[in-house]
Structure 1
Amino acid sequence: MTTDTSACTPASSSPLHAAVADDFAAVNRTITQQLSSRVPLVEAISGYIIDSGGKRLRPLLVLLAARALGYGGDKHVTLATLIEFMHTSTLLHDDVVDESHLRRGKQTANDAWGNAPSVLVGDFLYSRSFQMMVDVGSMRIMEILSAATCIIAEGEVRQLTNIGNPSISEDDYFATIQGKTAQLFEAATQTGAVIAGATPEQEEALTRYGRYLGLAFQLMDDLLDYQGDAGAMGKNVGDDLAEGKPTLPLLRAMAKGTPEQAKLIRQAIRKGGLDRLDAVLEIVHATGALDDTRARAEDMAAKALAQLDVLPASEFRDTMATLARTAVERTA
C-alpha cells in the first residue's frame, strides 16, 4: 500500500500549510470543482476518500517548490490539484489490491462500495488528472508526470511480486519504495520547479529533495508498522507482516539475527497473517532492526535538507526544511 502521510485534521489547518495558505485554499476549491461528474457515484467515492483527512503533502510540495523559486502565477494550483488526484487514484487501487478495510481510521472505499466502483473511480481520477495536465500547458510537465505514472505502477507491481518473498535484497526494497512512494514526491517538487522556471541546478536539487523526502516517509511508515500507535496511524500494527511484505525492518532483522530468528521471520513472511506477530516484534526490537531503519530514514531526511541550499531564503524554503525534519519525527 502506498504510504499514508495523513493526519485526521483538515489539511488547511496544519502549520505546514501556513506559508501557502491562500494557495492551498485555491487547491481545495479546485478539487471540489474538478470532482464534478454526471455520475453521482463518482462524486460520492471521490469525495469520500479526498475528504477523509490528510496533510496532502504532495500538492503542498508543488506549491512550496514553485513559491520558493518566486513563481507568481496560478497554474501551480492546477498542478497541485492534479497531483493530489493522481495520488488519490493510487490509494483507491491500492486498497483493492491489498484488500484493505481501514485507511486513516475510516472504512476504505472498497469496503464501503465494493472493489469494482473503487477501481473505476480511481480510473476517473487518473483520467481527470491528465485532462488537467493539458490545462497546465507544459509539455515538459506532461513528460515528467506521464513517466512518473509508469514508474509508480511498476513499483506497485514490484511490491506485489515481492509479497511472501523473504529473499529480496535491500536494493530490491529500495527500488520498490522509490517507485511506489518516492516517485510522486519527486514529481511534485520537480514539476513545481519547472513551472517556476527553475535553473537546471535548482530543478535537479528539488527533484532530489522530493525523492529523499519520499524515501524518508516510506521508511518511517514501514518502521511504524512495528512500533507505531494503531489509533494514531489509522491502521493496525503488523499490517505489513499480515500481508507478507518484506520491508526493511524485517530484512535488517533477518540479516542481524540468529539463524533461528531469521528462519522464523522468513516463515512469517511466506505465510502472512499475524500468528507470529509477537515473536517478530520481539526480534525486530532485539536485533536493532528498527534503529537501523530509523537511521536510514534520518539519512534520507538529511540528504533532502541538503538540497535546499540552492533556494533563496524564504518562509517556503523554511517549511520545506521543516517537512524534512518532521518526516522522521512523526509517530503516525
Structure 2
Amino acid sequence: MNQVLTQKPHDMLAATLSNEMAAVNTLIQTRMASEHAPRIPEVTAHLVEAGGKRLRPMLTLATARLCGYSGDNHVKLAATVEFIHTATLLHDDVVDESGQRRGRPTANLLWDNKSSVLVGDYLFARSFQLMVETGSLRVLDILANASATIAEGEVLQMTAASDLATDEAIYLQVVRGKTAALFSAATQAGGVIAGAPETQVDALFAYGDALGVAFQIADDLLDYQGDSTATGKNVGDDFRERKLTLPVIKAVAQATAEERAFWMRTIEKGRQDEGDLNHALALMDKYDTLSATRRDAMEWVTKAQDALTALPNDPIRQMLHDLADYVVARLA
C-alpha cells in the first residue's frame, strides 16, 4: 500500500476531469427533464444532487482520456453510467425499504414506491438513448450486459441475503453483479470508445471488476465498523435488514451449533432482540472476521492495481492506482 494519501484520489480525478464532468452534469440535467411528468426531474434531482462522488462516470472519463480519446462520446457514456447507477439506487431503496441514502431521506420515503420504480425505469430508458447516440454497438453491448447483470445480482441477493447456506462464492457472485458490473462496464467502455487495443480494454475491465469488488467489500465492512456520520448509514443496518455480508458469512462458516442457532434466529427468521447486534459483533470479533474481510478487500485492491500495468504510463493511471488504495484507506 502507498503512503497515507494527503489528497483524496477521487478529488484529484474530479479536478483533472473538471471540464468533462461539468459537461456530464449539464447533460444529466438536460436528459433527466420531462416535458409531461415533472415528478421525474424532481425525484431524479433529489438523488443526483445528493452529493455523491460521481465515481462511476469519472471512471469512464478517466479511462477514455488515459487511452488517448479526444472526442465527446465519453461524456454521453459517463452520463449513461450515472443514469444506470441512479436507476438502480431508486429501485434498491424500494426493494430494501430504505429510509436513508447519503444521509438524506430516500425518494421512496419522500414520494412513494411507485414514483421511485417508474422514475428508475425512465432513467434506464434515457441511458439506452444515450448509448445509442454514441454509435458504438460494442459499447451498447457492454452497458446492456451490465444492466442485465446488475438486475440479476439484485435478484440473487434477494434470495441469498437471509439464507445461511450463502457462502463466500455466492456472496462474490452477488457483489460482481450488483456493484462490480457497473464499475467494469464504466472502465471498459472508456477504453472501447477510445479505440484502445484489446489488451488495454481487457485490463480496464479487470481493473473495474476488482475495484468494484473491493469497494463493495469495504462498504459491507463499514456497516459494522464505520462512522455513521461519514457513511450516512447506521452501524449494523445490514444486520437489522438480515443481509448476509462477508463478515457474517465468515462467522457463520466457523460457528458452533449454539452460534449457528443465533444466526438462524436473527438472520434467517428475522427474530431480533435488544442486544443481538452486540452479540453478533462479539461473534465476529471472536473469529476475527472483520480483519479477514479487510484482508480480502486489500487483495482485490492489489488485483485492480496489477491490471493497470498494461495501460499507458500517465498521471491518470497513478490516480486510478491511488483510487484503489483509497477504497481500503476508508477502513483505517
Q: Do they superpose with TM above 0.5?
A: yes
Matched, 1:187 2:182: no
Q: TM-score, normalised by structure 2?
A: 0.94
- Name the counterpart of 2:237: 239
Asked whether the 8 Å contact 1:59–1:83 carries over to 2, the reply is: yes
Identity across matched positions, percent: 48
2:13 to 3, 8, 16: 16
SS at match of 1:225: helix
- Name the counterpart of 1:4: none
1:66-77 equivalence runs, <5 A = 66-77=64-75
- Name the counterpart of 1:36: 33
1:116-195 equivalence runs, <5 A = 116-195=114-193
Quote the offset at 1:139 in angstroms.
0.3
In 2, Cα distance between the equivalents of 1:242 and 1:211?
28
One-letter identity of the residue aligned with 2:313: A
Aligned length: 322
SS at match of 1:121: helix
Q: Which moved more, 1:256-265 or 1:87-96?
A: 256-265
In 1, Cα distance between the equivalents of 2:257 and 2:271?
22
2:86 to 85, 88, 95: 88
- Name the counterpart of 2:5: none
Q: Deviations over 1:217-271 (max 9, x none)?
A: 0000111111111111111111111121111100111223443333322322113
Asked whether the 8 Å contact 1:241–1:273 carries over to 2, the reply is: no
One-letter identity of the residue aligned with 2:293: T
One-letter identity of the residue aligned with 2:240: A
Matched, 1:282 2:279: no
Instruction: From the superposition, tell whether residues 167 and 20 of structure 1 become closer, same or farther in structure 2 (CA, over 3 Å).
Output: same
In 2, Cα distance between the equivalents of 1:84 and 1:272?
34
In 2, Cα distance between the equivalents of 1:266 and 1:296?
25
Task: Mark the runs of 5 or more structure 1 residues left unpaired by the alignment.
Answer: 1-10
One-letter identity of the residue aligned with 2:266: A
Quote the offset at 1:273 in angstroms.
6.5
- Name the counterpart of 1:309: 309
Instruction: From the superposition, tell whether residues 62 and 232 of structure 1 become closer, same or farther in structure 2 (CA, over 3 Å).
Output: same
Task: Mark the runs of 5 or more structure 2 residues left unpaired by the alignment.
Answer: 1-7
In 2, Cα distance between the equivalents of 1:274 and 1:196?
52
In 1, Cα distance between the equivalents of 2:299 and 2:13?
22
CA RMSD after TM alignment:
1.7
Quote the offset at 1:290 in angstroms.
0.5
One-letter identity of the residue aligned with 1:282: A
- Name the counterpart of 2:322: 322
